[in-house]
Amino acid sequence: MLKTFKGCIYCFGFLTISIYVAMFLIRMVQRFLPQAKRFSTDMSNPIVSVKQGKLKGSSQKLFDGSTYYSFKGVPYAQPPIGKLRFKAPLPPQPWPGIREAIDHGPVCPQFDMTTLSINEGNEDCLFLNVYTKSLEPSSRLPVIFYIHGGAFMSGSGNDELLGPRFLLQHNVILVTINYRLETLGFLCLDTPEVPGNAGMKDQVAALRWVQENIEQFGGDPKNVTIYGESAGAASVTYHLMSPMSKDLFHKAIAHSGVCTNDWAKGVNDRERAFKVGKVLGKKTNDPHELLEFLQGVPAVKLIALTRKVRTDDETIRCLPTHFVPVVEKKFENIESFISEEPLDIILAKKHNDVPLLIGYNSHEGLINLKLMIKNAEIINSNFHYLVPREMVPKLTQSQLNLFGERIKDFYFKDVLITEENSEKYLTDYHFAVCILRFAYFYAALKQPTFFYKFCMESELNKFKDLIGYGHIKGTCHADDLFYLFDNMLNKSIYEEQQKAKELVFKTTKLWTDFAKTGNPTPDNHFEVKWPPYTRAKKESLIISDQLTPVLYPDRERHEFWNKLYCEAGMLSFTKSNL
């Protein structure tokens, strides 16, 4: 069965799967676990009053035996159904009596990457989860607000993968959320009714709920850190740009993604929306007619449409993530999530300037290898497909071909593209280059930036094993999550191996110290200081068994790309108004 399952993974070898492969195996394990092993037998049910009513949660145990409190399936907005489909969320309604918050709410409708089938979920999916060690408002615990990844088309905030126990050992609160995905969350008609970014506005609504209610869970609304991985990290950096998110958070952590990655930026969104209508049998050029039709379609028909509305060029050049955040068209009396290009916002110093911890994993590209090899024959005959989508409009066809040749020569020399020689290119193109570029421009501003390269190597690198690359040293995309969140895949390793405990403690202490203070090394616990990143030296921290401060990791590769950006007439390290 595992062999067949891995074959399915290879068909979708891109960042979306990073979480959901693990969830499949977790579900399989859970089916055979006695119920008594999954839940504490000493269950109390604390009751907390929030603005909308009373919630009944449960008490659970950390690995050291201490108690924490769990409140799951808490609604943070009204159900986005009927005429509210595709639109910005509305504030949650109050409820009578005591609402049970014992179990997670429904996940949002999505294509399940673990079974390669539709997970109908429920459109009424705007729920969050709160985990805390204290229910005393006077505790003023720092709050970590986690946004899940999944290419804006899959995933949830559920604890199947995102267990809170590693982080809570450091006396913080963890909040995880669901938000609308794919077409339901990111359809854009360029109209006042559907300007796009409904899924991002869901995240804003959840942040507003935290500001209004987190004190009742022992949290400090004035010390909220937004944190995400992959598409969640891209979301975090979008919030740094959004006026809608202003004053809702105070620090930011971005793993393995930024809003300037090709896969995180919507293009031709109105045209893509009309393609959705055609796929579903509605041919029209009227956006209002299309909206009325799509609001009446069963939600299940709006799932897994991404691949059906791609262009031929996108099929080869891009990752299959196209219902994603967009720069919205401005409309009178309509609040936009973002209405300018992110880098333009930074250059104009109109962003939300907070301390930022940002970086990438050493071998991110392993996750995309199978997809690359699937298209290798075409790419080996047309090297221009190696050029990022954002550069293409800036180049003539002859320049595009020349850039493709240069990229091929730099990464592949005089041999063809194969599975054995593609990882560095994929790491740089899909992740590292844009992440470093974002950090470079952001770091010119007031608040500190801390940059890292994550190089942990242990049995906790579970995702790399699952996709068949466990023999390659390094940290694959999503491997870092197993050092930060507990789940059924890493639980036994953590409990049985002292090294795993030490690596988890090291990673989570860095992250939670940053959430507490804005500095990941505020004391001498590690006998190493993580230096703030500057544009001049590009100070970074290599995170592995040892913590090693370095200057400009992967310099030769980043300088190669910077030269291409400069020659394409795009913003680069040497061509900036900052």
Which residues form the catalytic set?
230, 364, 477
DSSP string, 452-512: EEE---STT-HHHHHTT-TTS-S-BTTGGGGGTSB-TTTHHHHHH-HHHHHHHHHHHHHHH
Distance of CA 72 to the CA centre of its chain: 21
Residue type for position 236: V
Q: Are 20 and 162 in contact (CB under 8 A)?
A: no
Strand 173-177 and strand 127-132: the pairing is: antiparallel
Residue length of the chain: 578
CB 45 within 8 A of CB 54: no
Q: Indicate the SS3 state at residue 428.
A: helix
Cα 49 to Cα 209: distance, rounded to the nearest angstrom:
13
Structure tokens that stand for 250 in this block = 């105070």
Query: In what order do the strands lie in the sheet containing 356-361?
Result: 58-61, 67-75, 127-132, 173-177, 141-147, 219-229, 251-255, 356-361, 449-454, 539-543, 547-551
Closest CA to 271 of 221, 310, 238, 244: 310
Long-range contacts of 39-45 (CB under 8 A, 24+ apart): 45/102
> Position of tokens 């969140």?
485
Task: Count other C-beta atoms under 10 Å from residue 286's C-beta.
Answer: 11
Cα 440 off chain centre by: 20
Q: What are phi and psi of 58, to 5 degrees?
A: -140, 160
The residue assigned the tokens 């050092």 is: 483
**What is the three-class DSSP state of 296?**
helix
Residue 146's H or E segment, with its range, is strand 141-147
User: Could you give the C-alpha distances from 293 to 86, 219, 281, 283, in angstroms and in order?
Assistant: 12, 43, 10, 10
CA–CA gap between residue 270 and residue 24 (Å, rounded)? 34
DSSP class of residue 575 equals: B
Q: Of 338, 322, 328, 341, whose CA–CA distance to 193 is shortest?
A: 328
Output the six-digit token pair for 222.
């004035």
CA quadruple 351, 356, 362, 364: dihedral sign: negative
Rounded CA-CA distance 157/140 in Å is 23
Cα separation, 517 vs 450, whole angstroms: 13
Q: From CA 356, how far away is CA 24, in angstroms rounded?
A: 33
